[in-house]
Amino acid sequence: MHPLEQNLTVEALFLFLLTATAFFISILVAFLTWFQRRDKMSKYFVMVLISTAIWSIMHGLQIVVSDLDLKLIFSKLTYLGMTLLPPSWFIFASMYTRRSFKIVERRPHLLYIIPLITLFLRLTDDFHHLVWSSSSTIRIYGVTMPLSRYGPWFWVFAVYSYFLVFAGSGLLLREAIGYSSLYKKKSTLIIAAALFPLIFSFVYLFRICPFDLTPVSFSLSSFFAFIGIYRLRLMEIIPIARDKVIENMADAVMVFDEELRLIDLNRSAEKFLSKRREEAIGKSAIDLPLDVDVLEILRNEGKRTYGKNGRFYDVAVQPVKDKRGKTAGKILIARDITDIKRYQEQLEELNKYLEEKVRERTKEVWKLVKQKDDFIKQLGHDLKTPLTPIISLLPLVKEKVKDEEVKRLLDIISRNITYIKDLVTDTLSLAQLSTPSYKLKLENLNLRSVVDECLGENEHLIKVKDMRPLNEIDESISVKADKLRLKEVFANLISNSVKYTPRGGGLDSVQRGLEKKL
């Protein structure tokens, strides 16, 4: 034991309290981080905090103890935190920024080789002096502190550790440049937590100050980390790199945490809220200029059309879930559909206009159709009226005429008059068929009887060709049809058969593949 005479001054006590505060804050933040998230990245962040706590408390104990041997032991144990911090920091930064380094992804433990060698050499430094080549003491603020002269291995470790810390801080800085305001704040906090120890380490390393103020700087680092985790939710909603497409989207995009506090928004969302980003970030949804309808959508999620200040928006809210399926926040997207809605209204007006025009034109068309039908009916009536007495009188005239040549001419007149009558009848029938209101007069008919009637009505044509008609249709077959239309069909069949059958031929009516009733 080598007791030392020392008198704790206010300055020395203040330094001890700072290191003790850094210790307790680091342990608390590490515990809360581990309790909330246990993913791989968080494990390394916890290691950073534990390293900070060890470094802080060991340096603080060097201030308050009065025995030189204990001071040297605590000085050696300080390296437990000093050696674990740089690789843990670099791995955490790599995972946080999603930078692909093979050594981090596959064998991160290799980064701890030099730090562990340094720790072993420091603990056994009395035998080789590779880390501390010699040591002495210095009295400051009434406290005697060990003062070292660095050995060759210390500089190897110093270069390696500063490289890792600078590399990790550089990754975060590079990531922060492309982030929105909230993410920049998060990364800035972590960068500050890294730069403060670096600055104070240089101060001690080059003997600008005889006290190792690095643990004091880690008090600030722990404080910034605490704010980053529990004020801005650094570990709960991991930043997702956003490119200019999101920032310049026409749709308003807002991100809320699970407590419905706004944590990010793009330029369109600033216009939607009529607030600048700096004024809106961090505020609760109920403190933002959002109507009751939007707040309801935000709470219950889903999609709805919403009107505001003469404009219309399609507002949709979706949850953001972490890897464990736990809701970490919500995304609100508001799409301005004012122009679309205006076009829809114009299209509806145009459709109504076109429908009205179609109705008017249709009405005109049906009026013309009716006029056409009325004309044809009147024409048919006017034509049939004089034909009827002519057809009735020609047979009487023929009976009184003795001259055969005159009879032959009367027969020609009779045939043509009959043709004209048939033509008028067909025209009227065609006009009726083209009328939408026309309905067939369906009735049950005996097919054989209908065919017999048609053969009788066309008997004179059959006799002229000296043909032998034969009706072999079964008397039990019946059909449901319009008798007039059905007779027209058979009349056409008989007429064509007589026309294209040689003289003396046969005219047979048979049924094939017919059921008893059609």
Asked if residue 3 is part of any domain, the answer here is no
Q: Which domain holds residue 504?
A: 442-509
In a domain, 505, yes or no: yes
Tens of pLDDT, residue by residue over 101-113, are: 778 878 888 999 9
State the pTM of this model: 0.47
What is the model's pLDDT at position 36?
A: 66
209 and 173 co-located in one domain: yes
187 and 277 fall within a common domain: no
Residue 502 is predicted with a pLDDT of: 80
Q: Is residue 516 part of a domain?
A: no
CATH of the domain at 461: 3.30.565.10
Pair (225, 109) in one structural domain = yes
Is the same domain home to 408 and 450? no
pLDDT bracket for residue 389 (50, 70, 90): confident
Task: Check residues 328 and 358 and name the one with the higher pLDDT.
Answer: 358
Q: Provide the H-helix boundaries in 231-337.
A: 244-247, 267-273, 277-280, 292-300
Instruction: List pLDDT tens digits, range 167-186.
Output: 887 777 776 665 444 455 66
Do residues 260 and 382 share a domain?
no
Q: Do 139 and 207 belong to one domain?
A: yes
pLDDT of 237 > 60? The answer is no
**Of the candidates 488, 499, 492, 489, the residue with the CA atom closest to the CA atom of residue 462:** 499
From 406, 433, 460, the end of a domain falls on 433
Both 38 and 135 in one domain: the answer is yes
Q: Could you tell me the pLDDT band of residue 212, with boundaries at 50, 70 and 90?
A: low
Interval 490-502: pLDDT, tens:
878 887 887 777 8
Asked if the structure places residue 30 within a domain, the reply is yes
- 218 and 88 within one domain: yes
Which has the closest alpha carbon to 165: 76, 80, 58, 93? 93
The model's pLDDT over 102-152, given as tens digits with 9 standing for 90+, comes to 788 788 889 999 999 999 998 898 888 898 887 777 777 667 777 778 889
Phi, psi of 353 (to 5 degrees): -60, -45
**Total domains in the fold of the chain:** 4
Q: What is the largest CA-CA distance in the chain?
A: 173
Measured between alpha carbons, how far is 118 from 127 in angstroms, rounded to an integer? 14
- For position 491, what pLDDT does the model report? 79
Contact criterion met (CB below 8 Å) for 472 and 508: yes
Q: Give Rg (Cα) of the chain.
A: 53
pLDDT, residue 121, reads 92
What is the DSSP code string of 456-500? HHTHHHHHHTT-EEEE---TT-EEEEEHHHHHHHHHHHHHHHHHH
Residue 239 domain flag = no
Predicted pLDDT of residue 184: 54
Q: Identify the domain boundary among 336, 361, 384.
A: 336
User: 235-244, 407-416, 445-454: which range is least confident on average?
Assistant: 235-244
Whether 238 is in a domain gets the answer: no
Q: Name all contacts of 41-45 with Cβ < 8 Å and 24+ positions apart.
A: 41/92, 41/95, 41/96, 41/238, 42/235, 44/88, 44/91, 44/92, 44/95, 44/108, 45/88, 45/92, 45/235
State which of 394, 415, 433 marks the end of a domain: 433
Pairing of strands 311-321, 327-336: antiparallel
DSSP 248: T
HEC string of 193-247? Answer: HHHHHHHHHHHHHCCCCCCCCHHHHHHHHHHHHHHHHHCCCCCCCCCCCCCHHHH
- The residue-averaged pLDDT of 155-164 equals 89
Query: What is the domain-level CATH number for residue 275?
Result: 3.30.450.20
Amino acid at 299: R
Strand 311-321 and strand 442-446: pairing?
A: unpaired
Mean per-residue pLDDT over the chain, rounded: 76
Is residue 214 domain-resident?
Answer: yes
Decide if 222 contacts 25 (C-beta within 8 A).
yes
Beta-carbon contacts of residue 8 (< 8 Å; ≥ 6 apart): 16, 63, 64, 142, 143
Report whether 206 contacts 185 (CB < 8 A).
Answer: no
Residues 347, 284, single domain; the answer is no
**Are residues 378 and 327 both part of a single domain?**
no
Give the pLDDT score at 114: 93
Cβ within 8 Å of residue 215, ≥6 positions away? 18, 19, 22, 52, 55, 56, 59, 60
Same domain, 110 and 186: yes
Residues 418 and 457 in one domain: no
